[in-house]
Amino acid sequence: MLNLTQYNSQFQEIETPFYFYDLDLLRKTTGAAKDAISGTNFHIHYALKANSNDPILKLVKEEGFGADCVSGNEVRKAIEIGFKPEEIAFAGVGKTDKEIKYALGEGIFAFNCESMHEIEVINEIASGLGKTANIALRINPNVDAQTHKHITTGLEENKFGINISELDQVIEKINGFQHINVRGIHFHIGSQVLNLDNYRQLCLKANELVKLFHSKGMILDHLNVGGGLGIDYEDPETNPIPPFADYFNVFKNNLELEKPLDIHFELGRSISGQCGALITKVLYVKYGIKKNFLIVDAGMTELMRPALYQAKHKIISFSGSIDKETYDVVGPICESTDSFDVGIQLPKSNRGDLLALLSSGAYGQVMANKYNMRDDIQAIYSSDL
């Protein structure tokens, strides 16, 4: 993120709260990811769930990424933006019949299937439409992502994926299905993963499982290792671009596949996370008995991550004061969890001063809601200023 405080006077003219997106940083980020995979058979699908605003998607598409979708509407949006159907993966534990029919009609790259029952239903629907569904089996690898429990997905207690112990049975059954083409296997261990050794563990599992599939005569064309690469929420100004080279090297160095498969990645947060900030204004300063509160005009309705996952987004102030004070920064919503941070030192702030919550480009605006009949939150792009 550029030095945001340079926009102070322009931001003062805009109704707060709003999301600000630095498209130059987004382009640098996609560029760094592309550089890290150049000359390999690696393909990146951008996970729309992280941020599906048109300018973000257009840029990501222009940069040559595919799309990773988790609903029929995301598939539709990706197609509207211009992603080719054969670059679209469709995941999710609860795809509806309507979504399956739509995606089958569009001829997407693969349904990432999460249960035997889902595969049966897709086979039936495809049969009714006279089509064959390309699928990847999402396997639960039982690899710990060592992240917040609410964004861990690859453990046996999670609802995601087919368990390894069921695989023999599943493969046998699928072999009898006329309208299913198993193209690949898929994993996703969780999100905001910082310890890259977890991906090494995933590679070791993937090596074993690809072997198992080949030993059963199943010809795969790809391995999809999901997403999850974490970003630096503590010091985003120093580390605006995630460590893509280190991340992809783990896969280059640890995947040992007998046959060369295409390797697909589904990255969301690491692409769009650092380019966005939530800009909010101080409404009131409340000096309490034990604490001082900055009451701001954005709340958990605009950025839910702190309330939902105890996530911390670095807060910077535009106040310009050299005096510091300790504040809890809280929103206007009638919930005690509507708090962005507690006991942080910030420049002394007054009514009307702006604050920015950094690293909010992923899972920020997309998770906004209207609780308390809040207004829709608008997006401002660096190219608008």
Alpha-carbon gap, residue 134 to 82, rounded angstroms: 21
Alpha-carbon gap, residue 350 to 355, rounded angstroms: 11
List the one residue from 115, 123, 152, 191 that touches ligand LLP (CB under 6 A): 191
**269 lies in the site for ligand LLP, by CB under 6 A:** yes
Alpha-carbon gap, residue 72 to 188, rounded angstroms: 20
Query: Which of 59, 346 has the CB closer to ligand LLP?
Result: 59
**43 lies in the site for ligand LLP, by CB under 6 A:** no
Q: Using CB under 6 A, which of the segments 14-22, 184-192, 328-336, 376-384 binds ligand LLP?
A: 184-192
Q: Which SS3 state, helix, strand or coil, does residue 243 take?
A: coil
Q: Which SS3 state, helix, strand or coil, does residue 381 take?
A: strand
CA 207 to each of CA 90, 97, 135, 195, 229: distance values in angstroms, whole numbers, following the listed order:
23, 33, 19, 20, 20
**Token pair for residue 265?**
């990645």
Query: Which of 309, 371 has the CB closer to ligand LLP?
Result: 309
Query: Which of 17, 154 has the CB closer to ligand LLP?
Result: 154
List the one residue from 306, 363, 365, 377 that touches ligand LLP (CB under 6 A): 363
In whole angstroms, the minimum distance from the beta carbon of 284 to ligand LLP comes to 28
**Token pair for residue 368?**
């906004």
Contact flags string 198-237 toward ligand LLP, x per CB under 6 A: ----------------------------xxxx--------
Query: Which of 177, 247 has the CB closer to ligand LLP?
Result: 247
Tell me if 297 sits within 8 A of 362, measured CB to CB: no
Residues in contact with ligand LLP, total (CB under 6 A)?
22
Q: Using CB under 6 A, which of the segments 71-79, 117-125, 188-196, 373-381 binds ligand LLP?
A: 188-196
List the one residue from 61, 305, 313, 314 that touches ligand LLP (CB under 6 A): 305
Strand pairing partners for 118? Answer: none
Report the residue count for the chain.
Answer: 385
**Dihedral Cα 234, 237, 27, 112, nearest 10 deg:** 0
**50 lies in the site for ligand LLP, by CB under 6 A:** yes
Query: Which of 17, 361 has the CB closer to ligand LLP?
Result: 361
| Residue 24: DSSP 8-state | H
**330 lies in the site for ligand LLP, by CB under 6 A:** no
DSSP codes, 66-79:
EEEESSHHHHHHHH
Residue 360's closest CA among 230, 233, 227?
A: 233
In whole angstroms, the minimum distance from the beta carbon of 353 to ligand LLP comes to 27
Q: Using CB under 6 A, which of the segments 176-184, 265-273, 286-294, 313-321 binds ligand LLP?
A: 265-273
Residue 341's closest CA among 357, 323, 319, 325?
A: 357
Q: Which residues bind ligand LLP (CB under 6 A)?
A: 47, 50, 68, 91, 151, 153, 188, 191-192, 226-229, 266-270, 305, 309, 362-363
